[in-house]
Amino acid sequence: MVKISVLQHAPSTHLPARPGDPTPTSRNLDPLMHPFARARERTRALNAVKMERIFAKPFIAALEGHVDAVETMARKPGTLNVVASGSWDGGMIVHDISLRRHILRVDEAHKGKISGVCFADEDRLLTCGVDRNVKLWDTREVDENGAGPSDVRKPLNVFPGKSAFNSIDHHRTDPIFATASNIVQIWDETKSAPISNLSFPTSIETISAIKFNLSESSVLASIGSDRTFTLYDIRTGKAERRIVMQMRSNALSWSPTFPTTILLASEDHNLYTFDIRSLKTPSQIYKAHVAAVMSCDWSPTGHQFVSGGWDRTVRIWQEGRGTAPEVYHTKRMQRVTSTLFTSDAKYVLSGSDDGNIRIWKARAHEKLGILDSRERAAIEYRESLKQKWKTDAQVNKISRSDFLSLFASVYIVADRQLSSLSRTRHIPKPVHKAGQLKRTMLEAQRVKEERRRKHTRAGESKPTAEKRKVVIAEQS
């Protein structure tokens, strides 16, 4: 029999199995077919960073509604899109950030500024103001009193206090909340008077913010205008420890994945993370803001956090990396008084002095929307290439976010050189100038210190580590 061998042409090998599928690609496994691996990957890395910069457009939208500066914001636990905000004029708005509309709006929730908002549970919202009241609201479309979205809302409950409140935070699980005025008070939702007062004996100053720990929910922390950070525990009912710092803190936030870590936004332009087990020194200092940091919030992953400052920038930091954060700014955004991460760690909100809440992407170049699996693979490949080639000079030059802060301590006088290099990322001129000024001042300080040391007896004055300078005293 004559056998006939036919050149076979199987469509299944090179056509998609189903209509929607990607076309199958074949690949030659022979390494000789793929030479110059290093050079090719480097080029790809370079392209990847360039693309990152090209597609870095973080701003998504601005939510309007407030007449005055947005003082405080809170996200509803367990949701992605519900965020409440309170402003200086006493207006309170609950936003749906995905639809960009107001779920609830109360124009005169408090007389004077609303200093704190937080969600009690599902649909109830607590606000506190300088009018010495804490109010409980129903945020549903139609509340218990039958008031619809257009009606004037009445609070479900009012908890009167003795002095102006500065901050409020709700316990994660129990119907308990804490307020900060000149003392820390713990309230039960069902009782009109505080169930306990917590204060450090010698503290007489105002307490500016308070936060419950998220995982260890009975632990409580506050910061005060007397430059202190105080730790409380509602189980022992005591103020347990206090540290006094060089400058006062403006905001604090507990890490959601590292329960011992707390982040403080300080007046001295820095942010500090502390491990509450050892408060003597901060575990990390985050330096890049050029004015006081007004607010901070951890990403739900605990590996990033956002901060907003008096310098009209929002910065997104990587945990453990003390420099070179991502900088967000717009022309019209004024001082950022409140910042927030959404609970899927994808977006960042910033409330500023101009009365707007802005929505930003947490990763500036991220593509929004549904991703094809091949596209995702490509993105992941690009990311890892960038990571791998970050040591390359060219790649690094393009990708580095804030050159100024990175090399601030290295370059001293060569200002022109610096400015030419710092063009990799645009920063508003005032911020840039303030940065320059700050650098100059710090440099002068350093030089002076150095000279002083030079002229004292040898070994008399040793340079202290930056971390050791932060905490002045730890009190128990």
Partner 1 sequence: MARAQKPKQSRRPQAKSLKQNNLRGFAKRQSLKSQRSSKYSESSDVYEYQPENVRRSKVKLQLEKDELDGARRDISGSEDEDDGPKRNGLRPRLVGENDDEGGLGSDEDEEIDSDEAFDESDEERFAGFNFSTKTKSVAKRKPQKRSLQSQNASASEGEDSAADDEEEGDPEDFIDVLDMIDGKGPAESADEGEHTQKEERPSASKARVEGDDVPHLEDEDEDMHDEEDEGISSDESEEDESHISPMDDAISASGDEDDDVGTSLHDLQSFITNLDAGQKRKAPDDEAAPTTETGEARRQKRRMLKERTEAGEENEFAPHRGATKLNLDDLLNPLASSSSNLLSLKKSAKILTSISAKNQTLSAPLPQRTQERLDREAAYQQTKEEVDKWSATMKKIKEAEHLSFPLQAQPAGRTSNLELAAKFKPTTELESAVDRLLKSAKMREEDIAQTESLKMNHLSVEEVSARRAELAKMRELMFRAEAKAKRVAKIKSKTYRRIKKKEKAKIAAKLGEGSDDEDMNEETRMKHEVERARERATLKHKNTGKWAKAMRARGDLDEDQRRDISEMLSRGEKLRRRIQGIGSGDESEEGEDDTEDDEEGAADRIKASAFEELAQLDKGSEGEEDSGRKGKSIFEMKFMKDAIARDQQRAKQMADDFVREMGESNHEDDEDDELTGGRIEESSGATIERVGGRVTYRPGAQQSQLRTVNSLASDTSSITLRSNDLPSDVARSVTPSATSPIPEKLGIATEAPNPWLAPRQDPAKAVPKKHEIAVSKDSASVEKSKNKLRKKAQKHEEEQSKARNDAAVDISMSNVMTLGDNSSAGPSKPKTRSQSGNQRDDGDDDSDVHSEVEEQERLLDRKGKGKANGVKAFEQRDLVARAFAGDNVVRDFAEAKRREMQEDAPKEVDTTLPGWGSWGGTGTRKAQPKPHLIKKVAGVDPTTRADYKKAHVIISEKRDKKAAKYMVKDLPYPYTSKAQFERSMDIPIGTEWNTRVGFQRGTLPKIVTKPGTVINPLEKLL
Cβ(300)–Cβ(215) under 8 Å? Answer: no
Question: 303: Cβ–Cβ under 8 A, 6 or more apart, which residues?
Answer: 257, 318, 319
* 3-state secondary structure (DSSP) of residue 221: strand
- Which tokens go with 469? 């300078």
Closer CB to partner 1, residue 277 or residue 416?
A: 277
Cβ(69)–Cβ(88) under 8 Å? Answer: yes
* 3-state secondary structure (DSSP) of residue 443: helix
Q: Which one of 209, 210, 214, 324 is in contact with partner 1 (CB under 8 A)? A: 214
Distance of alpha carbon 67 from alpha carbon 354, whole angstroms? 8
Total residues in contact with partner 1, by rule CB under 8 A: 54
Binders of partner 1 among residues 270 to 299 (CB under 8 A) are 276-277
Cβ(352)–Cβ(358) under 8 Å? Answer: yes
Shortest reach from residue 173's CB to partner 1, in Å:
9
The torsion of the CA quartet 176, 180, 184, 190, rounded to 10 degrees, works out to -30
Asked whether position 96 contacts partner 1 by CB under 8 A, the answer is: no
Closer CB to partner 1, residue 19 or residue 201?
A: 201
Asked whether position 398 contacts partner 1 by CB under 8 A, the answer is: no
Asked whether position 149 contacts partner 1 by CB under 8 A, the answer is: no
Shortest reach from residue 204's CB to partner 1, in Å:
15
Q: Which one of 47, 145, 196, 384 is in contact with partner 1 (CB under 8 A)? A: 384
Stretch binding partner 1 (CB under 8 A), from 100-108, 143-151, 383-391, 446-454: 383-391
Question: 458: Cβ–Cβ under 8 A, 6 or more apart, which residues?
Answer: none
Binders of partner 1 among residues 53 to 82 (CB under 8 A) are 77-80
Binders of partner 1 among residues 406 to 425 (CB under 8 A) are none
Binders of partner 1 among residues 19 to 38 (CB under 8 A) are 27, 31, 34, 37-38
Query: Binding string to partner 1 for residues 167 to 196, with x set by CB under 8 A, is what?
Result: -----x------------------------
Asked whether position 428 contacts partner 1 by CB under 8 A, the answer is: no
* 3-state secondary structure (DSSP) of residue 67: coil
Find tokens 């006939």 and name the residue. Answer: 4
Q: Which one of 249, 343, 352, 401 is in contact with partner 1 (CB under 8 A)? A: 343
Shortest reach from residue 75's CB to partner 1, in Å:
10
Cβ(103)–Cβ(94) under 8 Å? Answer: yes
Distance of alpha carbon 347 from alpha carbon 83, whole angstroms? 12
